[in-house]
Amino acid sequence: MKEIHYTLDNLNEMLESEGLSSEQIARAKTLFLKRLSIDAHAFYNGKMQTVPKAAVFGFNWFNVWYTPGVSKVSTTIRDNNLTSYDLSNRGNLVAVVSDSTRVLGDGNCTPSGGLGVMEGKAFLMKYLGGVDANALCIDSRNEKGEHDPDKIIDFVKMLQPGFGAVNLEDISQPNCYKVLDTLREECDIPVWHDDAQGTASVTLAGLFNALKLVDKPIGDVRIVLFGAGASNTTIARIIQKAGGDPEKMIVFDSTGSLNRDREDIKADIRYYRKWELCESTNPQKIQTMDEAMKGADVLIALSKSDPNTIKPRWIQSMAHKPIVFACANPVPEIYPYKAKEAGAYIVATGRGDFPNQVNNSLGFPGILKGALMARARKISDEMAIVAARSLADFAERRGIHPDNIIPTMDEAGVFPFEAADVACQAVKEGLAREDISHKEAYARVEKGIRESRELVKLMLDEGYIKTPPRSMLQSAFEWAVKEVK
Residues with catalytic function: 66, 121
Degrees to nearest 5, angle at CA 116 with 32 and 354? 40
Instruction: State how far the Cα of 216 lies from the Cα of 210, in Å rounded to an integer.
Output: 9
Rg of the chain's alpha carbons, rounded to an integer?
A: 23
Neighbours of 255 (CB within 10 A): 10
Instruction: State how far the Cα of 237 lies from the Cα of 45, in Å rounded to an integer.
Output: 39
Q: Is 45 exposed, middle or buried (0-12, 13-18, 19+ CB in 10 A)?
A: exposed
Instruction: State how far the Cα of 323 lies from the Cα of 298, in Å rounded to an integer.
Output: 5
Q: Please give the full DSSP string across 105-117, using - where no structure is assigned.
A: TS----GGGGHHH
Instruction: State how far the Cα of 168 lies from the Cα of 426, in Å rounded to an integer.
Output: 20
Beta bridge pairs of residue 93: 132
Which DSSP symbol is given to 141? Answer: B
Q: Are 292 and 284 in contact (CB under 8 A)?
A: no
- What distances in angstroms separate CA 66 from CA 59, 63, 82, 320, 441, one per listed residue? 12, 5, 21, 66, 31
What letter represents residue 329's amino acid?
Answer: N
Q: Are 111 and 141 in contact (CB under 8 A)?
A: no
Is residue 161 reached through a cis peptide bond, with omega within 30 degrees of 0 on the bond before it? no
Instruction: State how far the Cα of 65 lies from the Cα of 59, in Å rounded to an integer.
Output: 11
- What distances in angstroms separate CA 249 from CA 67, 292, 300, 308, 369, one per listed residue? 61, 9, 11, 23, 33
Q: Strand, helix or coil at 5? A: coil
